[in-house]
Amino acid sequence: MSELSQNNEVKKEKKKISLSFIQPSGSITLGNYLGALTNWVTIQNSGDFNCLYAMADLHALTVRHEPADLRKQIYQGLATLLACGIDPEKSIVFLQSHVHQHAELGWILDCYTMFGELSRMTQFKDKSAKNADNINAGLFTYPALMAADILLYQTDYVPVGQDQKQHVEIARDIANRFNGIYGKTFNLPEPYITKSGARIMSLADPTKKMSKSDSNVNAIITVTDTDNEIIKKFKRAVTDSGSEVRMGEGKDGINNLINIYSAVTGKSTEEVEREFEGKGYGDFKLACGEVVADRIRPIREKINEYMNNRDYLDQISAVGAERASIFAQRTLDKVYKKVGLVVKKHN
């Protein structure tokens, strides 16, 4: 990278750093989009942050994949970030595996992460239960790599949902331990929990969060679903035995659909209730399907365009990795020096 480009990266460091990672494990759901990605775009476009967005492809290796399928999912995940509004001209967009410092710092932080801390992580318990025949060391130690992802960039804020705060907390614990031994090395990241992030529930079981790992395809809407698929899924969505489109206690199904309609259209709950006053669940389900299909359609079309131009995706990820490495290497050199390793001389 040229000296001018490096100077530009240094100038950008005056802003607070926001970092977000997403795993390439299936298509992004409507819940991921409305609950996370729309907020990521808002943070990026605010101009208040120096934003990094990455595909956590190394984390994906904790479960088995067909190599060709994983590569496709990585490309599709990158295409989805761009299609949803992440702009490589405004943000640093890259693949985790293309910045070697992640794996290097991950190993060092393994040595400063306690067994008890790792054993308490809920994701390890959940994934172990689902993959009983493949409870590997990576599945157990992934929080140290996740901490490296965050700490490598001296991150200030990590946009997460309320249920993901644990990942930021353990990164803070590891950073505090390391700083306590060697002096200030890592910035302490804060979870950035936005109030506007919609919590979208399963269409088949509205007591559970919509998840891309759900084996029931009718439970989730993805950003690659066609218009017809989206409308059919909404028509099959679980509701209660009533018929009035109104929020209420014990009405998880209709509450979820109202939340979705509200999040997509920008209308308040009261406005939605007034709009469908006197109409039944059938009309409302169809309306939900149509507004969601309208919202998803341009994203799906852009994803397809990007997937048909993988050279462009390769270019974006290469430039992003080069930019990310400037930040990452600076931190890694500091860590090497602190722990007593010989720092490699860079050209």
Active site residues: 127, 209, 212
- Per-residue tokens: 264: 């997509």
In DSSP terms, 191 is beta-bridged to 158
Q: 44 and 91 in contact (C-beta within 8 Å)?
A: yes
Instruction: Locate 258 and state its tokens.
Output: 């109202």
Closest CA to 223 of 35, 2, 7, 17: 35
Token pair for 82 = 């761009």
Is 154 in contact with 327 (CB distance < 8 Å)? yes
* Backbone phi, psi, residue 24, to 5°: -85, 70
Positive/negative CA dihedral, 193, 199, 205, 210: negative
Cα separation, 272 vs 285, whole angstroms: 13
What CA–CA distance (Å, rounded) separates 87 from 17?
Answer: 16
Cα–Cα distances in angstroms (integers) from residue 107 to residues 97, 146, 165, 186, in the given order:
14, 11, 22, 16
Question: For strand 92-95 and strand 49-55, is the pairing parallel, antiparallel, or unpaired?
Answer: parallel
Total residues belonging to the chain: 347
Q: Which helix (H) or strand (E) holds 80?
A: helix 67-83
Residue 316 CA to residue 242 CA, distance in Å, equals 50
Taking CA atoms, 236 is separated from 15, 86, 220, 244, 282, in Å, by 46, 32, 11, 17, 10
